[in-house]
């Protein structure tokens, strides 16, 4: 049987686990998953203690996307019955930021649908961010699709702290989930954001039919990228999308994946993100022993757990919500 504690100690001594060792973690039997979680917790506790940060999303523009991302209800090939609307007014973004602050969120993320934002949309979002920063002590993240460096610099100048742009999956599997842009397009956006001086949030979506090797490749690609935060989304299949009938995840499988990412990214903020409630179900609390960040109040087009319920879960597990904890140093 795998000696999970020995692997955790290796990581705690600033050594990296090998690709084969990462694969072994994913192949843990269900009966040994608690031992894996305990080992991952030793790493999490060293770098994050028992703190949990809360994030909140705001869908500022929905639907009408020209991309064909197979997992997304807002894509051009989706027939899912979702709300579709243009970019909301800055005052609505500000109101949502106030709700995020009331929910003890450390970070508020403005999200819009589409391949890339229009320059006028960048201007409207920048206006909203300036208002938010004037009023609220909250960090602001934006997830806006493919960005140019000038657009990223405009957002930085307005007060945006962080850009989210997920790699989503391995480079080898990317064409299986999207054909209208490339893995390299995503890397270019993250490069532009970093050049503008913005923090990076980049992770993936698991449960789309990828192999274990793809998951490890994704984790290692993110290691090279070195983002400040890694959100791990667990596919919540939506009827009307090509992946609407996907059934690749179990609660135990999700915990193994999150744990593997913790071993490879010991010092990075690791978020149990979209699909947490749907996939982890009654095992949600166990994710806190590995991840140090959660979303509250829902996602873009799928519901999520209200902030007060998430806070109760955090407290019941002996953890505490941290509103102002600094991001870990970049290594």
Segment 187-246, tens digit of pLDDT: 999 999 999 999 999 999 999 999 999 999 999 999 999 999 999 999 999 999 999 999
Q: Provide the CB-side half-sphere exposure for 162 (13 A, CA).
A: 22
What is the structure's pLDDT at 125? 98
More confident residue, 62 or 325: 62
Positions marked active-site: 65, 69, 72, 109, 141, 201, 271
Is residue 326 scored above 80 in pLDDT? no
Task: Identify whether the C-beta of residue 292 lies closer than 8 Å to the C-beta of residue 53.
Answer: yes
Task: Identify whether the C-beta of residue 325 lies closer than 8 Å to the C-beta of residue 51.
Answer: yes
φ and ψ at residue 232, rounded to 5 degrees: -105, 105
Span 237-278, pLDDT tens digits: 999 999 999 999 999 999 999 999 999 999 999 999 999 999
CA distance between the termini of the chain: 32
* 276 vs 283: CA distance, rounded Å: 10
What is the structure's pLDDT at 303? 77
Dihedral, CA atoms, 123, 128, 134, 138, nearest 10 degrees? -120
- The H or E element that residue 215 is part of is helix 212-225
Question: Would you state the structure tokens that stand for residue 295, as one six-digit string?
Answer: 């979303």
What is the structure's pLDDT at 119? 95
What is the structure's pLDDT at 216? 98
Beta strands in the chain (DSSP E): 51-61, 107-112, 139-143, 162-164, 199-201, 204-206, 229-234, 269-272, 293-296, 320-321
pLDDT band at 329 (very low <50, low <70, confident <90, very high): very low
pLDDT band at 312 (very low <50, low <70, confident <90, very high): very high
pLDDT band at 10 (very low <50, low <70, confident <90, very high): very high
Q: Taking the alpha carbons of 139, 223, 207, 48 in that order, is the dihedral positive or negative?
A: negative
74 Cβ contact partners less than 8 Å away, ≥ 6 residues apart: 62, 63, 64, 65, 82, 113, 300, 301
Dihedral, CA atoms, 83, 89, 90, 91, nearest 10 degrees? -90
Span 124-166, pLDDT tens digits: 999 999 999 999 999 999 999 999 999 999 999 999 999 999 9
For the chain, count helices (H), then strands (E). Answer: 12, 10
What is the structure's pLDDT at 299? 77
What is the structure's pLDDT at 302? 79
Task: Please report the domains of the chain, with CATH numbers, ordered by start residue.
Answer: 4-318 (3.20.20.70)
Span 50-104, pLDDT tens digits: 999 999 999 999 988 999 999 998 888 888 888 889 999 999 999 999 999 999 9
């Amino acid at each position: 049987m795998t000696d999970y504690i020995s692997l955790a100690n290796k990581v705690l001594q600033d050594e990296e686990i090998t690709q084969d060792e990462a694969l072994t973690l994913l192949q843990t039997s269900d009966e040994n998953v608690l031992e894996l979680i305990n080992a991952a917790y030793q790493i999490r506790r060293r770098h994050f203690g028992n703190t949990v940060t809360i994030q909140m999303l705001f869908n500022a523009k929905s639907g009408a996307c020209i991309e064909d991302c197979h997992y997304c209800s807002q894509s051009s090939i989706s027939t899912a019955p979702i709300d579709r609307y243009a970019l909301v007014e800055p005052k609505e973004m500000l109101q949502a930021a106030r709700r995020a602050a009331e929910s003890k969120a450390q970070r508020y993320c403005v999200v819009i649908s589409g391949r890339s934002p229009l320059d006028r949309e960048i201007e409207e979002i920048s206006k909203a961010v300036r208002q938010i920063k004037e009023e609220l002590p909250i960090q602001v993240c934006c997830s806006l699709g493919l960005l140019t460096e000038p657009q990223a610099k405009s957002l930085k100048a307005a007060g945006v702290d962080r850009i989210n742009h997920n790699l989503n999956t391995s480079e080898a599997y990317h064409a299986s989930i999207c054909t209208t842009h490339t893995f390299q397009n995503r890397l270019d956006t993250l490069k532009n954001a970093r050049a503008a001086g913005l923090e990076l949030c980049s992770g993936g979506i698991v449960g789309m039919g990828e192999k274990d090797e793809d998951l490890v490749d994704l984790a290692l690609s993110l290691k090279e990228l070195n983002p400040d935060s890694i959100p791990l989304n667990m596919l919540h299949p939506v009827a009307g999308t090509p992946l609407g009938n996907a059934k690749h995840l179990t609660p135990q499988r999700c915990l193994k994946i999150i744990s593997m990412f913790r071993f490879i990214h010991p010092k990075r903020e690791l978020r149990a993100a979209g699909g947490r409630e749907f996939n982890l179900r009654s095992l949600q609390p166990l994710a806190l022993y590995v991840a140090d960040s959660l979303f509250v109040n829902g996602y873009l087009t799928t519901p999520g757990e209200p902030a007060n319920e998430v806070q109760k879960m955090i407290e019941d597990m002996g953890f505490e919500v941290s509103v102002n904890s600094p991001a870990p140093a970049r290594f």
